[in-house]
Each structure stands twice: as C-alpha cells, then as structure tokens.
C-alpha cells in the first residue's frame, strides 16, 4: 500500500530491509578493533543499551518494540545472515540506520555511540550471536 501511495504521489519507493545495501567500499572495511573479551563485553553493553528494545536480548528480533514498526527486526543469530554480511556492512548499518521516507525503520547510532571504535565493538559482539547451523557444533 505504501509503495502504491509513493508511486501515486511521485515519491521514491520505500526501502525495505531486504533491499538495504551498504556501499561496496563500506562492505570491504575490516573491523580494526581487536576482538578481545574486553571488546566483546563493551560491545555487549552497548548492544543491551541501544539494540535490545528491537532486536531482543539474544538478537532474535523479538524485543519489546519489535512489533511497532513496518519491518520486523532481523534475527541477528541467523547463520546465513551472519555469513552474508561483512563486518563493514554491519558497521555501516549500525552507524547510518535505515529510513523509509520520514519513517525510521532502524535508527543510526553514530550520535548515540559516537566512538567508531565502540561501534566496531558492537560488531564484534554481534558476531558472537551467530546460531549454529543444523548439525553444526557451536
């Protein structure tokens, strides 16, 4: 319906999470932060503060605010998603967020987590959420 309305009004088509792509140069960025227990602990604390309301405490996309938007938050534990996304793409998505016109689908956290190093630590923590694929030990 929103896509039809957007076309009727001559507005850009809505952006959906499935179409949400980082620029190639951002995808290619490696995580410059050493993945240490301390970095993961800091990333986890930042995740709990800024991300659990939508993505849930375990990253399943089942946080208390998950049902309020047009898009269901991604399951960050999905092994296929974890394998497909680069660290640079995750960092870019955390930093920039996603908007559909005036609607904020996912906020960008470059202001709330102003330190790039800390946003990279969130990426390091998110990598620990990967679920084991069927038949794979975790």
Q: What's the pTM?
A: 0.82
The answer to whether 99 and 113 are in contact (CB under 8 A) is no
Return the closest-CA partner of residue 130 out of 86, 91, 62, 80: 80
- CATH code of 18-127, in short, is 1.10.760.10
Residue ranges of the domains in the chain? Answer: 18-127
**What are the backbone angles phi and psi of residue 104, rounded to the nearest 5°?**
-90, 110
Label each residue of 30-73 as H, E or C: CCCCCCCHHHHHHHHHHHHHHCHHHHCCCCCCCCCCHHHCCCCC
Q: What is the pLDDT of residues 26-79, one digit of tens each?
A: 999 999 999 999 999 999 999 999 999 999 999 999 999 887 766 789 899 999
């Amino acid at each position: 319906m929103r896509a039809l309305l957007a076309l009727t009004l001559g507005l850009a088509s809505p952006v959906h999470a499935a179409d949400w792509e980082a620029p190639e140069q951002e995808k290619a960025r490696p995580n410059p932060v050493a993945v240490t227990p301390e970095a993961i602990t800091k990333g986890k604390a930042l995740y709990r503060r800024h991300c659990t309301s939508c993505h849930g405490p375990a990253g399943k996309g089942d946080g208390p605010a998950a049902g309020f938007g047009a898009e269901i938050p991604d399951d960050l534990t999905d092994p296929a998603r974890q394998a497909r996304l680069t660290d640079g793409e995750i960092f870019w998505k955390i930093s920039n967020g996603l908007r559909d016109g005036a609607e904020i689908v996912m906020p960008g956290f470059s202001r709330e987590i102003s330190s790039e190093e800390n946003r990279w630590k969130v990426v390091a923590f998110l990598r620990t959420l990967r679920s084991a694929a069927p038949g794979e030990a975790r």
